[in-house]
């Protein structure tokens, strides 16, 4: 798979959707849930606020947000792929009191109104966008002035560092073999290349400010293996 190819990314997530949550739990030992809780802790969503989850996948982060915003706030989960959204809606159906809705659309061109949201989140989506800078611009466009945003993803590490060697080994010897055991080797083999081509934390900060954010701070998680970009509009 070619990283950042919109059609290929959409096909990938449609294919992996039924096993996506199980794979995330296996590959992170369940820690991805803690990373998402940390992201929300930093953002401090408040009751009555309206939030957008871009590249929401099967809805983990959107549902966690909705639990914090109920009953008066709301969350819109948006993704380009239909299959993950179907699963997200099924999960939300088990908690019908949560104020969450779902929408299929392109994260680079959502069609949503200007300055409509108090906050925006994106977990493991920026790295797959055809143009991350346009992604930042769209996030800034839909945010109200002073609104908050955060991006959680793999962290691109300095080539030749011990941390980069560990990340590469993890992807090659754990991620792909585990995915292969579920018949998804081809779908997950692209990860190493996508991380190698991803923006560094500093580059993310620079692009976000150029796209219209007033403040950007990249924080490292898990010994630098993951990163969270915190933004203010």
Instruction: Say which CATH number the domain at 15 has.
Output: 3.40.50.150
Percent of the chain with pLDDT over 70: 98
Question: What's the pLDDT at 1?
Answer: 58
In a domain? residue 169: no
In a domain? residue 161: no
- d(C-alpha 134, C-alpha 215), whole Å: 17
Q: Which residues contact 20 (CB under 8 A, 6 or more apart)?
A: 13, 57, 58, 84, 87
Backbone angles phi, psi at 146, to 5 degrees: 85, -5
Question: What's the pLDDT at 148?
Answer: 98
In a domain? residue 188: no
DSSP helix/strand/coil, 111:
coil
* Number of domains observed in the structure of the chain: 1
Question: What's the pLDDT at 79?
Answer: 97
Query: Could you tell me if 15 and 187 are in contact, meaning their C-beta atoms sit under 8 angstroms apart?
Result: yes
Tell me the Cα Rg of the chain.
17
- d(C-alpha 174, C-alpha 145), whole Å: 42
DSSP helix/strand/coil, 121:
strand
Length in residues, the chain:
233
In a domain? residue 30: yes
Helices (H), the chain: 6-28, 31-43, 60-69, 82-93, 132-142, 162-170, 176-181, 185-188, 191-196, 201-210
Question: What's the pLDDT at 2?
Answer: 61
In a domain? residue 140: yes
Range of the domain at 221: 6-155+200-232
In a domain? residue 192: no
Residue ranges, the chain, pLDDT below 70? 1-3, 187
End-to-end alpha-carbon separation of the chain, Å? 34
- d(C-alpha 75, C-alpha 102), whole Å: 9
- d(C-alpha 83, C-alpha 81), whole Å: 6
Question: What's the pLDDT at 25?
Answer: 78
User: What's the CA angle centered on 207, arms 204 and 208, to 5 degrees?
Assistant: 80
In a domain? residue 183: no
In a domain? residue 220: yes
Cis amide bond preceding 71, omega within 30:
yes
């Amino acid at each position: 798979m070619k990283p950042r190819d919109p059609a290929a990314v959409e096909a990938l997530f449609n294919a992996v959707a039924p096993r996506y949550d199980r794979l995330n739990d296996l590959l992170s030992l369940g820690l991805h849930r803690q990373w998402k809780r940390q992201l929300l802790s930093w953002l401090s969503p408040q009751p009555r606020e309206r939030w957008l989850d871009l590249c929401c996948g099967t809805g983990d982060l959107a549902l966690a947000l909705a639990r914090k915003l109920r009953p008066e706030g709301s969350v819109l989960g948006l993704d380009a792929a239909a299959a993950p959204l179907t699963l997200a809606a099924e999960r939300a159906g088990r908690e019908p009191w949560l104020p969450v809705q779902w929408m299929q659309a392109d994260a680079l061109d959502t069609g949503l109104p200007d300055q409509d949201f108090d906050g925006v989140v994106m977990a493991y989506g920026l790295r797959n966008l055809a143009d991350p800078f346009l992604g930042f611009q769209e996030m800034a466009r839909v945010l109200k002035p002073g609104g908050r945003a955060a991006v959680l993803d793999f962290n691109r590490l300095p080539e030749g560092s011990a941390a980069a060697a560990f990340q590469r080994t993890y992807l090659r010897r754990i991620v792909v073999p585990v995915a292969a055991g579920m018949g998804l080797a081809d779908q997950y083999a692209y990860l190493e290349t996508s991380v190698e081509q991803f923006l560094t934390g500093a580059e993310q900060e620079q692009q976000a400010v150029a796209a219209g954010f007033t403040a950007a701070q990249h924080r490292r998680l898990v010994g630098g293996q993951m990163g969270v970009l915190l933004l203010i509009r």
